[in-house]
Amino acid sequence: MLTIATDQRGRTALQAHSGVTAVPLGAPAAARADILWRRAGTTAADVTDTLTRARGLRWVHTDTAGVDDLPLADLAARDITLTKTSAYTDAVAEWIVTAVLIAAKGTPAYAEASRAGRWEPGVGAPRLISGTRALIVGNGAIGQTAGGALAAMEVHVSTVGSRAAAGWEALLPGTDWLVLACPLTERTHHLIGAAVLGALPAGAWLINAARGQVVDEHALAAALDARRLGGAVLDTFAVEPLPADSPLWKRPTVVITPHDAWRASGAGRRQAVDFLDQLHRYRSGQPLHRVVDAVAEY
């Protein structure tokens, strides 16, 4: 009998499954957990508490796309397998494509004119995305799916991995859309700073579906102030919620979504289906999917 520590939604999803006992996070019974299923909304502190008490824990599955808030070194030291969900791939990839289209079609300018009651043909200076160039930083499932969708619309797509191999900056001067879909690691922290932003051509857009700390927000604000960038579509930030005094608010060429790129109808169901598939693999001795490399941090 396997003991799985998870929240109420997880326990509901596991009710019909024999051979497992689902227990609440924080309950005394969680100390016997073999598996921790971290649902969206479960804090890193909850995970750490369960790790501390459940000395027989063998596997942690997280319903988050990123793992930067988890104690990766502790998991590796105890030889605990960590896997992550695939439930958000399509939603985030669609958000990226939408962001490119928002930028290309001048949607922020049209929205501003609409709010002001102004009829201004051409105010957004719309352009075709066919023939433009996107540079995607991050070649995981999200980056690959978004890249495939953009390529289908005849965007020239280049992809660099999360390790950002030397020389990738040479692609920046020809980039219209700099798309971030990489994990936050020591290597990618503030990867996008003044030097990278300064190497982009005038009118280029930054699109961030990664983690806020991948971008130096002060450098981004300065680049926007200098009006070299066309603008930015941002879903994540170094501090969330984004503080009211952030220089990124109230800019006509910046579109902000509140860390919602992952959100789409049916997300909870997709998370559960993904975990239950992994659980079947675990119980039958098959290799798990999307195992996180604690050293690489993704």
Catalytic residues: 211, 240, 259
Residues 6+ apart with CB under 8 A from 269: none
Instruction: Give the pair of three-digit tokens for residue 200.
Output: 């982009």
Letter for the amino acid at 51? L
Placement of tokens 């930067």 in the chain: 68
Instruction: Give the pair of three-digit tokens for residue 80.
Output: 């605990």
DSSP 4-64: EEE-HHHHHHTTT-TTEEEEETTSGGGGG-SEEEE-TT--HHHHHHHHHH-TT--EEEESS
Instruction: Give the pair of three-digit tokens for residue 26.
Output: 């924080």
State how far the alpha carbon of 82 is from the alpha carbons of 37, 108, 273, in Å: 10, 40, 17
Q: Are 220 and 198 in contact (CB under 8 A)?
A: no
Placement of tokens 């995305």 in the chain: 129
State how far the alpha carbon of 48 is from the alpha carbons of 4, 16, 61, 79, 101, in Å: 15, 28, 13, 15, 40
State how far the alpha carbon of 245 is from the alpha carbons of 39, 239, 241, 248, in Å: 31, 12, 11, 8
